[in-house]
Amino acid sequence: MKTAVIGAGVMGSGIAQVLAQSGHEVHCTDVAEDALERARTSVTRGRYGFDRGVERGKLTRAAADAALARLHFTLDLEAAVSATDLVIECIPERLDLKIRVFRQLDRLAPPDAILASNSSGFPLAGLAAATDRPSRVLVWHWASPPVVMKFAEIVVREETDPDAIRFVRKTALGCGKNPIVVKDHPMAWGYVANRIYFAMLNEASRVVSDGVASEEEVNQLMTDCYGWPVGPFAMVKGARKGFGD
C-alpha cells in the first residue's frame, strides 16, 4: 500500500515512521526543506527513531533499514499523493489551512484514495465538505509520540463509506494501534479523548486556583490513584510541545 503524510513535523514524521515500519511505502511531504531534514534526523537518530529501536532490541537492523528504504521525504506534494491509497494530513491545527490542503488533496490524489486528517478536534463535516469525495474523508487522530502510543481515534459520519472505515481500521491494527471508531459531532471540539481531557484539566485547574492542592500534588495524586503515566498538568506540557506541529 502506498501512503502519503502531509506535514513533516513531530506528528507527521512519527506517523510516517510507523507506517513505513509496518510495511507501507510512505511519502512524507512538507513545504520547507528544513522540516524534512529534521524529520529525517528524527526517524533515524531521534528518541523514538529507528537507531534507538535497534539499540533497545525493538527491531533488527535489517528491519530498520528496510523501513527507511520505504520512507521518502519530498517537497513535491503532487508526487507524494499520486497513485496513493491513503493520505494523512498532519499540518498545523488551523481550520483554514486544513480546508485549503484538503481541496488540494482532492484535486491531486486518485479519486478512490482515502483522505484522513490527524486533527485534534475540528469537525469532520467541515473537512469533508471541502472535497468532492466527502464519503472518503475521515479523521484518524493519533497521540504523541505516534511510535509509542496505541491510541487511534477514528472519526466518521453517517455518510462515511464503510469500506473506507474498514480500510483505515485495518491499517491502524497493522500499525499496532487500537482503533476505536467514534462519531463526528459538528458542534463540539475534541471528539472523545480531548473533550474528556479538557474537562478533566478544567477541574484540575479549579482545584489549584481554589488553593486545595498544587499542580505537582494534583499530578501525584492522580498518578497514584488512577495509574496514569503522568498527571494532568504534566500532560499539558507534553501537549504544548507537540501542538500545532
Write out pLDDT tens, residues 65-108: 999 999 999 999 999 999 999 999 999 999 999 999 999 999 99
Give pTM, 2 decimals: 0.92
Q: Using alpha carbons, select from 130, 123, 187 the residue that is nearest to residue 156.
A: 123
Q: Please report, in tens digits, the pLDDT of each residue of the chain (245 residues total).
A: 999 999 999 999 999 999 999 999 999 999 999 999 999 999 999 999 999 999 999 999 999 999 999 999 999 999 999 999 999 999 999 999 999 999 999 999 999 999 999 999 999 999 999 999 999 999 999 998 999 999 999 999 999 999 999 999 999 999 999 999 999 999 999 999 999 999 999 999 999 999 999 999 999 999 999 998 889 998 766 444 443 34
What CA–CA distance (Å, rounded) separates 95 from 20? 28
Looking at residue 236, its pLDDT comes to 66
Evaluate whether 164 touches 138 at the Cβ level (below 8 Å). yes
Write out pLDDT tens, residues 178-190: 999 999 999 999 9
Instruction: State the burial class of residue 143 (Cβ atoms within 10 Å of its Cβ: 0-12, 13-18, 19+).
Output: buried
Looking at residue 238, its pLDDT comes to 46
Cell of 242: 507537540
Evaluate whether 134 touches 161 at the Cβ level (below 8 Å). no
**Rounded to an integer, what is the distance from CA 87 to the centroid of its chain?**
12
What CA–CA distance (Å, rounded) separates 171 from 5? 14
What CA–CA distance (Å, rounded) separates 186 from 184? 6
Evaluate whether 77 touches 91 at the Cβ level (below 8 Å). no
Residue 241 CB contacts under 8 Å (≥ 6 apart), including other chains: 10, 144
What CA–CA distance (Å, rounded) separates 153 from 80? 25
Evaluate whether 237 touches 216 at the Cβ level (below 8 Å). no
Integer angstrom CA distances of residue 242 from 167, 178, 237 = 27, 21, 9
Domains present along the chain, CATH in parentheses:
2-183 (3.40.50.720), 193-242 (no CATH)
